[in-house]
Amino acid sequence: TIAFLNGEYLPLSEARISPMDRGFLFGDGIYEVIPTYAGQPVGLSGHLTRLANGLSAIEIENPFDNVQWKAIVLELAGKNADFIESKNIGVYFHVSRGTDAKRHHAYASNISPTVFAFAFEIPPPQPEAKGDVKGFKVALEEDKRWQRCHIKSTSLLGNVMHYQTGVKAGVDETILFNQQGLITEASSCNVFMVKNGIITTPPLNNELLPGITRQIAIEAFKRAQLPVEEDWFSKEALLEADEVWLTSSSKEVAPVIEVGGHIIGEGNAGRMWEKAIKAYHAYKFIA
**Beta bridge partners of residue 283, listed in sequence order:** none
Q: How many CB atoms lie within 10 A of CB 201?
A: 25
**Contact range with ligand PMP by CB under 6 A, out of 130-138, 165-173, 220-228, 246-254:** 246-254
Distances (CA, A) of 268 to 124, 153, 271: 20, 34, 10
| Closest to ligand PMP by CB, 123 or 271 | 123
Tell me if 159 contacts ligand PMP by CB under 6 A.
yes
126 in contact with ligand PMP (CB under 6 A): no
Give me the catalytic one of 79, 87, 137, 152.
152
134 tagged catalytic: no
Confirm or reject binding of residue 254 to ligand PMP (CB under 6 A).
no
> Does 213 interact with ligand PMP (rule: CB under 6 A)?
yes
Cα–Cα–Cα angle for 224, 228, 233, rounded to 5 degrees? 160
Asked if 201 touches ligand PMP (CB under 6 A), the answer is no
Q: Are strands 173-177 and 190-195 parallel, antiparallel or unpaired?
A: unpaired
Site string for ligand PMP, 32-51 (x = CB under 6 A): -x------------------
Total of chain residues touching ligand PMP, rule CB under 6 A: 14
Residues 6 or more apart whose CB falls under 8 angstroms from that of 31 comprise 92, 93, 94, 95, 152, 153, 154
CB 159, min distance to ligand PMP, A: 6
**Smallest gap from residue 76 Cβ to ligand PMP (A):** 17
CB distance 177 to 142 below 8 Å = yes
Q: Minimum distance from CB of 121 to ligand PMP (Å)?
A: 16
Sign of the torsion formed by the C-alpha atoms of 111, 61, 212 and 2? negative
Residue type at 150 in one-letter notation? H
Which one, 80 or 248, has the nearer CB to ligand PMP? 248
Rounded to a whole number of angstroms, the minimum distance from the CB of residue 75 to ligand PMP is 21
Residue 91 or 100 with smaller CB distance to ligand PMP: 91
CA 216 to chain centre: 13
In Å, the largest CA–CA distance within the chain is 59
Of 76, 73, 94, which is closest to residue 30 (Cα–Cα)? 94
Tell me if 252 contacts ligand PMP by CB under 6 A: no
Rounded distance between C-alpha atoms, residue 25 and residue 18, angstroms: 10
Window contacting ligand PMP (CB under 6 A); options: 132-140, 164-172, 195-203, 211-219: 211-219
153 binds ligand PMP (CB under 6 A): no
Which 175-194 positions form the footprint of ligand PMP (CB under 6 A)? 185, 188-190
Nearest to 278 by CA among 228, 217, 229, 230: 217
* C-beta separation of 17 from 87 below 8 A: no
Query: What is the footprint of ligand PMP within residues 53-112 (CB under 6 A)?
Result: none
Q: Which residues bind ligand PMP (CB under 6 A)?
A: 33, 159, 185, 188-190, 209, 211-214, 247-249
- Annotated active-site positions, please? 152
